[in-house]
Amino acid sequence: MSIKKVVKYGTPSLRVPSKEVHKVSQKIKVLVDDLLDTMYAQNGVGLAAPQIGENVRVFVIDVSTNDEPLNPMVFINPKIIKKSGAVISHEGCLSFPEAFTDVKRYANVMVKALDRNGRSFVLEAKDGTLLARCIQHEFDHLDGILFIDHVINRFDAESELSKNNLPPLEVEKILDEPDLEPEIEKLLEEKAKKDDNAEN
Ligand code: ZN
């Protein structure tokens, strides 16, 4: 077990699709433990293998709060088997130190994966919880997709990146998300109305 260096935005391995795990070998278990150690050392809620330079389909999550016991979750060869609803998610990433922006996410996901012992499980995360959003964020890393590819306000994302000395937004990577966009528009309108009311 050891703490690894988290690669930063601009590192090519973050944009490379990762390979399936054929066997949950000792080597994979060591990788899982390194991911957990590194995630906890950085106070993150999730970390994917490409972020420590390993392009294999493994990520870890722990969304427990400070007063709760640790709850490490391991996802090997994950598949998102159901997704619905939309939510505006304010996100950051350990590969983007100090940079945060609003992105589009599904509110509900169902994921199927293998755990650290190679056993298959299915997990449902609903209502735009941190877990639901985190699963999508980490899953994307395995396909070379980054949270900024789901950006809602390009101008805001650009300024966050430049403020934190990170490379500029890769505009050509921004995803077209017809499933999410109408609902996100509605959420943005509601938010604007609420902000108006708060000012009055
Ligand atoms: Zn990330």
pLDDT per residue as tens digits for the range 116-155? 999 999 999 999 999 999 999 999 999 999 999 999 999 9
Report pLDDT digits (tens) over 33-70: 999 999 999 999 999 999 999 999 999 999 999 899 99
Question: What mean pLDDT is reported for the chain?
Answer: 96
Active site residues: 138
- Report CA(141)–ligand 1 centroid distance (Å): 7
The pLDDT tens digits for 16-30 are 999 999 999 999 999
Distance 200 CA to ligand 1 centre (A): 38
Rounded distance from Cα 16 to ligand 1 centre (Å): 14
Q: DSSP letters along the chain, please? A: --PPPPPPTT-GGGGSPPBPPSS--HHHHHHHHHHHHHHHHTT-SEEEGGGGT--BSEEEE----TTS----EEEEEEEEEEEE--EEEEEEETTEEEEEEEEEE-SEEEEEEE-TTS-EEEEEE-TT-HHHHHHHHHHHHTTT--GGGGBS-HHHHHHHHHHTTPPPP-GGGPPP-TTTHHHHHHHHHHHHHHHHHHH-
Q: How many A from CA of 145 to the centre of ligand 1?
A: 9
Domains and CATH numbers, the chain: 12-199 (3.90.45.10)
**Per-residue pLDDT for 73 more than 90?**
yes
pLDDT at 27 (0 to 100): 97
